[in-house]
Amino acid sequence: MERPQELLKPVKRRLIYLTFTLALVVELVPLPVGSVRWLPDFVGMLILYWVLNQPSRVGIGTAFILGLIADVATAGLFGQHALAYTITAYLVLLRQRQLVMFNLGIQAIAVLGLLQVNQLIMVVARMATGSAFVGWSFFLPPLIGALLWPLLTNLLVLPYRQRSL
């Protein structure tokens, strides 16, 4: 309950774009093959973060467009990320005012649920279009993403924390 009492500088639009670009870059970096199994979906996490903290700037439409870009970047099916991000963004917006008041631990649990919803939607979308089930390890990355959530939040707060206070 301590964080919202902080006084912060207004968030610049540039920063939002930059973070999304960085997340996409992470998707595109040629990483070792095995890392896909545990690396969390940074684009999804950032969408959750910005929808949670800047609902007027980043909303369902942004989530949808970023989903399309992520689809192309990950060479997935066109629309699977878009669908997942759209739905989770909506879920965040439903309870945004509550979620933003929680401390980081509880937020992380909520994020875990939302990221799992992401994965679930993608699995359902792929299976509905005829792919085989990829295995339960597909649901591991959200756990790591949830563990990273406090770190991410603190990192993104840094640029607009006021120095003189």
Partner 1 sequence: MDFANTPSFFRQGPRPLVRLISCTTLSIALLVADSRFGLMEPAREALSVVLYPLQWAVNAPVSGARDLGSFLTSQTELQQENRQLRAAALSNAAQLGRLATVERELAELKALGQIASSRTDVAAQAEVLYTGRDAFTNKLIIDRGTNAGLRGGMPVLDSHGLLGQITRVQPLTAEVTLVVDKNQMVPVMIERTGQRAILYGYGGGVELRYMPIHADVKEGDRLVTSGIDSVFPPGVPVAQVGKVDRNAGAAFARVACIPYAGVQSSRYVLVVSEKQMPPAPKPAQPAAPVDAKAAKAAAKAAKKAAKKAADKGAAKPAAKTAKAASASAPR
**Which of residues 15, 100, 144, 148 is near partner 1 by CB under 8 A?**
100
Selected range binding partner 1 among 19-27, 42-50, 111-119, 141-149, rule: CB under 8 A: 19-27
**The one segment of 32-40, 58-66, 104-112, 148-156 that binds partner 1 by CB under 8 A:** 58-66
Among 1, 32, 33, 97, binds partner 1 (CB under 8 A): 97
Q: Which of 39, 79, 148, 150 binds partner 1 (CB under 8 A)?
A: 79
CB of 52 to partner 1, least distance (A): 8
| Count of CA atoms in the C-beta half-sphere (13 A) of 10 | 5
Report DSSP letters for 44-106, one per residue.
HHHHHHHHHH-TTTS-HHHHHHHHHHHHHHTT--TTHHHHHHHHHHHHHHHTHHHHTTS-HHH
